[in-house]
Amino acid sequence: MRHQKKGRKFGKKRGPRKHFLKGLLNNLILEDKIETTLPRAKEIKSDLEKLVTLAKRQTLHSLRLLLSRLPEKAAFKLYYETALKYKNRRGGYLRIIKTAKTRKRDGTELCRIEFV
């Protein structure tokens, strides 16, 4: 039974899955919006919203935590630019928009995830 085993596997083991999600987070932070599959977008949404909330604290400790969880360029952009835009917002920093497109090879639903 899978009691209390949250999160999607994406057909990968723990290490490759962590790097895969870290890369998606990096791309989304640097580009402000990306087009990906619906399960991938749903998986990174909660992680990134927690990181934005962490960055909004604007403390040295929160910056160091971001640097430990993200690549340097993405962590700095999140801390110095993105978090300041959402200073007065209480949550809901991301939006998932389903598109009518599907991937040709396997028919997976595509969506766009972006900052509000």
Rounded CA-CA distance 83/76 in Å is 10
* Cβ proximity of 18 and 43 under 8 Å: no
Residue with tokens 């630019």: 81
What is each CA distance from 81 to 75, 101, 115, in whole angstroms? 10, 31, 12
Q: Which domains does the chain have, with CATH numbers?
A: 33-115 (3.90.1030.10)
Give the global pTM.
Answer: 0.92
pLDDT tens digits, 7-63 = 999 999 999 999 999 999 999 999 999 999 999 999 999 999 999 999 999 999 999
